[in-house]
Amino acid sequence: MTAPAKASRVVPPGEATARTRGPYRSSTPADVALLLLGACFLLPLLWLVLASLDADASHETRVPAQAGLENFAAIMTPALLLQPLWNSLVLSTGTAAVTLVAAVLAAYPLSRYRSRFNTPFMYTVLFGTCLPITAIMVPVYGLFVQLELLDSMPATILFMAATALPMAIWMTRNFMDAVPASLEEAAWVDGASRMTALRTIVLPLMRQGLGVVFIFVFIQAWGNFFVPFVLLLSEANQPAAVSIFTFFGQHGAVAYGQLAAFSILYSLPVLALYVIVAKGAGSPFALSGAVRG
């Protein structure tokens, strides 16, 4: 459970830099080796950027003969770009909101009360994070058929929230443990109920942590392809991850440039959110585990 455990510990930037300055800094062979490895990682990404600017892009990586934004202009249509991105937004925001509310409610008793129930519950939840989600998609499809929930946006949101919950409960409880209980006790003396104290005192104090959990779940949902691919069938409901696959799976042979342009526009929101979390939470660690098939 490295991710949630580390997420709650915000390392002051000064401390981290002092530690990394070991006895061996700035060696040129290490620079060269690292740059070579970095180049290998960069190449596939480079194709994406160059092809998006090239009106007759192919699979080749090459500097466009005439760089321009034609590809971006070509995909800027409501049906092709805006509707899928809107669906992605609804799906991801809904998933993150449901997850956050359920995780906060569940984390409160687990963080504040001592009970024999806590440890087994937390380990059961942790076990849930280990479940290969792709393996349960066939059974989930069967379940959705039986309950007549196929192609239902709310049901898909609830399912995606359930898959994100185990990790979210762990992270939220760690953030909540960091808020001292003594702060609430003053409020109880004034007659506030547990839930009022949670809302008015605990949550505002952990809002940064809540932001991390929200963004973490949002990024996961935004990038998810397989779940909406199986559960959302009609074009009107499909998020960008699926529409990009179905559209370019059928017409892709000619439109690599547009594919790359669409991919970039679709990726920008999560790249931006990642930067926010990595900066704000002190450590990019908060996002470990964000990629699960």
Scanning residues 79 to 118, which ones bind another protein (CB under 8 A)?
98, 101-103, 105-106, 108-110, 113, 115, 117
Beta bridge partners of 54: 67
Residues 270-289 that bind another protein (CB under 8 A): 270-271, 274, 283-285, 287-289
Residues 17-36 that bind another protein (CB under 8 A): 19-27, 30-31, 33-35
Residues 138-167 that bind another protein (CB under 8 A): 138-143, 145, 158-159, 161-163, 165-166
Residue 238 CB, nearest approach to another protein (Å): 12
Beta bridge partners of 67: 54
Binding another protein by CB under 8 A: which of 125, 171, 231, 232?
A: 125
Question: What's the one-letter identity of residue 76?
Answer: M
The owner of tokens 């479940």 is 131
Binding of residue 210 to another protein (CB under 8 A): no
Binding of residue 173 to another protein (CB under 8 A): no
Binding of residue 181 to another protein (CB under 8 A): no
Binding of residue 212 to another protein (CB under 8 A): no
Phi and psi dihedrals of 64, rounded to 5? -60, 140
Q: Is the separation of the CB atoms in 112 and 202 below 8 Å?
A: no
Q: 130-133 long-range contacts, Cβ below 8 Å, gap at least 24?
A: 132/293, 133/163, 133/226, 133/227, 133/292, 133/293
CA distance 110 to 243: 40
Binding another protein by CB under 8 A: which of 4, 84, 209, 223?
A: 223
Binding of residue 63 to another protein (CB under 8 A): no
Interface with another protein (CB under 8 A), residue total: 107
Distances (CA, A) of 85 to 94, 241, 265: 14, 9, 9
Pick 48 or 55: Cβ nearer another protein: 48
CA distance 67 to 204: 48
Binding of residue 132 to another protein (CB under 8 A): yes
